[in-house]
């Protein structure tokens, strides 16, 4: 096997395995289903590379060219994943036509293969081994732009969440999303331009770069439950300490209140001003006790 083939197979297998592991975690965290779908979709990119590198793409072009459908699904899947993690809802129907526009480009591209004969297809994929076809460059660029828009949308959701809740437990997701945004708007465009001349970029540099980023995402997701449990345990301990302090303070207030009531029963000859002060203090303690009991 060539180096290109080894990298393609390794990238596909590691993404597929990560997707399965994340999918198992989705039983407890439904949001992970969408990231698992994200990984499954991206692993399909490497099926495309495998078919081209093993000279099977011409015979299986119907399977091979679905890769662009998978790529156009990456952005929406990631946005839905982030929204689910934050407990937000995305109104997909509001601007449905805008979400569907990129898929029209895919349909036009895919249907164009229906009019190609076997020799044309074999020539097309043979050239793809040395340089990326212009049609693929255009679609890949459009896919990077579309994905970048959804990733930026995800970043806005995360910023709004941090500002509203002051909860920074998902800071890792925010930082990783910024890395993904950099990939979409800076690294991917450079690689797309370079892939037109060097296949090393297409079959080695791009898979390795994206695999490292998605490996980090997957690691954080697979360890997410442990992190949540640790934070929950800290909060429980804080609540227990606060509850103990509250009970202790409540007992002291109750004791003071009883003293005031006993003194009042003795009908000690006190001046009117002192009696009023004792009554006011007793009333304040009673109100405070009621507040403590309600909480």
User: Hey, where are the domains in the chain?
Assistant: 3-222, 233-294
Handedness of CA 49, 51, 54, 57 (dihedral sign): negative
CA dist 206 → 11, 148, 209, 248 (Å):
10, 16, 5, 62
CB atoms within 10 A of CB 134: 9
CB 195 within 8 A of CB 202: yes
Q: Is 124 helix (H, G, I), strand (E, B) or coil?
A: helix
d(CA 221, CA 206): 23
d(CA 256, CA 269): 20
Q: What is the pLDDT along the chain (295 residues), one digit of tens a residue?
A: 788 888 889 888 988 999 999 998 887 788 899 999 999 998 998 898 899 889 999 999 999 999 999 999 999 999 999 999 999 999 999 889 999 999 999 999 999 999 889 899 999 998 888 888 888 889 999 999 999 999 999 999 999 999 988 888 888 899 999 999 998 999 888 888 887 777 777 778 788 888 788 888 888 888 875 444 444 445 545 544 455 555 555 555 566 666 666 655 555 544 555 556 666 666 666 666 666 565 5
Tally of helices (H runs) and strands (E runs) in the chain: 13, 0
Residue the block writes with tokens 């097309």: 124
């Amino acid at each position: 096997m060539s180096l290109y083939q080894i990298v393609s197979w390794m990238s596909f297998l590691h993404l597929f395995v990560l997707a399965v592991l994340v999918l198992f975690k989705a039983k407890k965290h439904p949001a992970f289903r969408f990231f698992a779908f994200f990984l499954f979709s991206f692993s399909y990119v490497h099926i495309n590379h495998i078919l081209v590198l093993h000279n099977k793409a011409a015979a299986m072009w119907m399977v091979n060219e679905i890769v662009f459908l998978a790529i156009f699904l990456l952005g929406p899947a990631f946005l839905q994943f982030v929204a689910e993690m934050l407990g937000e809802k995305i109104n997909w129907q509001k601007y449905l036509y805008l979400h569907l526009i990129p898929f029209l480009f895919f349909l036009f591209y895919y249907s164009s293969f229906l009019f190609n004969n076997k020799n044309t297809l074999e020539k097309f994929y043979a050239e793809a081994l040395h340089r990326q076809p212009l049609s693929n460059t255009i679609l890949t660029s459009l896919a990077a732009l579309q994905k970048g828009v959804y990733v930026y949308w995800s970043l806005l959701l995360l910023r709004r969440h941090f500002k509203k809740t002051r909860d920074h437990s998902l800071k890792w997701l925010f930082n990783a999303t910024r890395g993904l945004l950099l990939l979409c708007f800076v690294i991917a465009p450079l690689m797309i331009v370079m892939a037109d001349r060097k296949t090393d970029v297409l079959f080695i540099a791009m898979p390795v770069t994206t695999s490292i980023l998605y490996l980090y995402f997957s690691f954080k997701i697979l360890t997410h439950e442990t992190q949540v449990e640790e934070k929950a345990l800290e909060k429980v301990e804080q609540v227990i300490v606060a509850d103990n302090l509250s009970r202790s303070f409540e007992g002291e207030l109750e004791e003071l209140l009883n003293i005031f009531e006993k003194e009042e029963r003795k009908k000690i000859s006190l001046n009117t001003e002192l009696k009023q002060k004792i009554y006011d203090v007793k009333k304040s303690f009673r109100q405070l006790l009621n507040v403590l009991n309600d909480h």
